[in-house]
Amino acid sequence: MLLSLCALLAVGAAAAQEAPPQSTLPDMGKLPAVPPATRAQVQPQYVVVLDAAHGGGDVGARFTDKLLEKDLTLGFSVRLRQALASHGIQVITTRDTDTAVSMVARGEAANHAMAAACITLHATATGSGVHLFTSSLAPTPYTKFLPWQTGQSAYATQSLRLSSEISTALGHTAVPVTLGRTSLQPMDSFACPAVAVEIAPLAGGNTTSATPLTDVGYQNRILDALTAALTQWKNDWRQQP
């Protein structure tokens, strides 16, 4: 009886190890474990992951018949990548074309990169300025293997610091910032300091009209601020525990 139980457990463990990485929707039982951040042994590389949200059939928010969130986030991701690359920052993107990328595939891309910062890009017609969201998962200490869907919980403190640096940089370019916590995939599974950057139109005063999302000057201010913040983060992130 005891023997057969042991045999069953061994088979179960072997099956769990052999489970291939999933590329479909998250399945708690079969997901690969997130590798621990063993930065101490290897020379740390400064890698930034840019995750242009939505894509393919997932259009995100519909601003007009022709203007979709998925296109806006992709365009922004491409431009931010160029800006960061020109500052010598290595960038990994989760998508470079208008394709549907699963949440698990995005998580895998981010977690294999062992990135110093993971930025998920969104856009919305609601509110004003830039909304910076960090995960609402309760902070947990590092463990050797983090559960896939809540891997972000071990990076809660670092994510808040990264969010704070982006907020400061946006403040310098006079873009209003709203800070919040949310439960968002794939961000909750990112095993890296992660912030969701959601771009909203810039609300005008009583006499001026709102600056639309598509305004190039407005977009450039946000791009400059993000580039400045991520350049600054390069000096700060290594001091993290």
Partner 1 sequence: MITRFQRFLFGAMLLAAVVMAVVLIRMRERAHDRLIMAADSQPMNTLSTALSTAQVETITLLVANDMDGSLISVERKFPMPKDPNARARVLMQKLLEEYAAPKSTHPIANASGVDEVFLMPVPQQKGGQGEMAVVNLNAVFVQAQPSGIEPETLTLLSMIATLHANLPQITEVRFLVDGQQKDTLAGHADLTRVYLASDTQTAVRQ
Q: In the complex, which residues of this chain contact partner 1 (CB under 8 A)?
A: 25, 54, 58, 60-62, 69, 122-128, 131, 133, 136, 178-185, 188, 196, 198, 200, 203
Q: Is 127 left (phi over 0), alpha (psi -120 to 50) or beta?
A: left
Least Cα distance to 128 among 202, 63, 209, 198 occurs for: 202
Nearest CB to partner 1, comparing residues 30 and 112: 30
165-204 burial, b at 16+ Cβ within 10 Å, e below that, comes to bbbebbeebebebeeeeeebbbbbbbbbbbbbbbbbbbee
Choose from Zn ion, partner 1, none: what does 47 bind? Cβ within 5-8 Å by kind: none
Would you say 122 or 161 has its CB closer to Zn ion? 122
195 contacts 120 by C-beta, under 8 angstroms: yes
If the CB atoms of residues 95 and 131 are measured against partner 1, the closer one turns out to be 131
Which of 22, 34, 51, 60 lies at the binding interface for Zn ion (CB under 5 A)? 60
Closer residue to partner 1 in complex, CB, 112/181: 181
Look-up of token digits 């400061």: 168
Site string for Zn ion, 106-145 (x = CB under 5 A): ----------------x-----------------------
Report the run of H or E that residue 233 belongs to, with start and end: helix 216-236
What does 180 interact with, of partner 1, Zn ion, none (CB < 5 to 8 A by kind)? partner 1
CB under 5 to 8 A by kind: which of Zn ion, partner 1, none does 188 bind?
partner 1
Site for Zn ion contains 53 (CB under 5 A)? yes
Which CB atom, from 133 or from 237, has the smaller least distance to partner 1? 133
Q: CA quadruple 124, 78, 163, 92: dihedral positive or negative?
A: positive
Instruction: Give min distance, CB of 166 to Zn ion, in A.
Output: 17
DSSP state of 241: -
Shortest distance (Å) from residue 152 CB to partner 1: 12
Residues 52/74, Cβ–Cβ less than 8 Å: yes
The contact set with Zn ion (CB under 5 A) reads 53, 60, 122
